Structure 1
Amino acid sequence: AFASIYDKKMGKDGNAQSSIGQFNTAATPLQMAMVTAAIANDGKLMKPYMVDMLQAPNLDVIEKHEPQEMSRPLSAANAEKVQQMMVNVVQNGTGSKAKMSGVTVGGKTGTAQHGEGNKKRPYAWFISYAETPDKASPVAVAVVIEDSEADREDISGGGLAAPVAKAVMEAVLKSQG
């Protein structure tokens, strides 16, 4: 397991570069999925969990997860502004490969530098959410593709990671009915 990295001693230039994946900041896919979920959930960050329910062999419920709010990292008004920008990325920008008919999809593509002096192949990122017209709980997904065999110039979040995110979001929405 890899930990996230944020160099608290870097200057403003390093902070600006980190915000677009060009310095030494690193985040895990779970962290980025949580960021996306908070944006899609109007600023509410929910506590993540891996198992929804534990059942005994006779199918009695032993333990069931109940959603818990963890924090409010951004206001509902700011979350709405970011949602609009993320929807625009999918509707009119680099995330178009995540579009789904009849579903609101927001996303942000990323191509993060990798290796000393960016000598290794970059990582293709796509964070996204999908929301159905009935406004049920949005689905948030973060995809990172590392060490792709694609040519360096063909590695992009919109090109490689967005289709994967779309497939995952479609499967989750289909399973919800």
Structure 2
Amino acid sequence: MREPVTRAQFSSDFLDVLNFQRVGLSVVVDHKDKPSANLVSLPLRRVLYGLLLGKDGGRTVEERDREGLEVKYNQVQPDAELPFCVKTLQEQNLEQRRQVLLDALELEQFRFTASHLTLPLAATCYWLKKATPRPDESLLQALLIGWCKGDSLKSKADTDPDAKKSLDLDWCNWLNQWHRV
């Protein structure tokens, strides 16, 4: 961990968890009457905190989030059932590391390839199971097309006035949930 920290490749949020056992979750433009988009990724963060803090019993991580329009502080218990932590990560083989990721994403089987889409697809599978309310199919289609076509959708939206449709609040909430995963 020392090397990524010195090269500024390690998130300051990770350092806050390690040093202070607290983190401020990202503030996103969200629907105030819906639960925070951060809730969808809570089980994943519990795994992350467990990896960072190890089996150091009794420690919780304080998260700053929102409930409605109010700031709320939640105590989150790290996952203590993990087979290893960051301190012993180098000792684990690639298959053991992948299994922790698969378990966290609640995927029994998922083929990992060299594809740059593997992690976004795995995260999307998780999001589709956990998102509330259930995402609209058109949003999933938009994500898939965006991955395949890249910036061509953006350039079409810039030139085609019909392509610029306002997103409704449910879409914003779903996109925020997907982003948090």
Q: Give TM class, smaller chain.
A: under 0.3
Higher relative contact order (CA 8 A, sep 6+): 2
Q: TM-score if structure 1 supplies the norm length?
A: 0.27
Looking at secondary structure, tell me which structure has more helix per residue: 2
Q: TM-score if structure 2 supplies the norm length?
A: 0.26
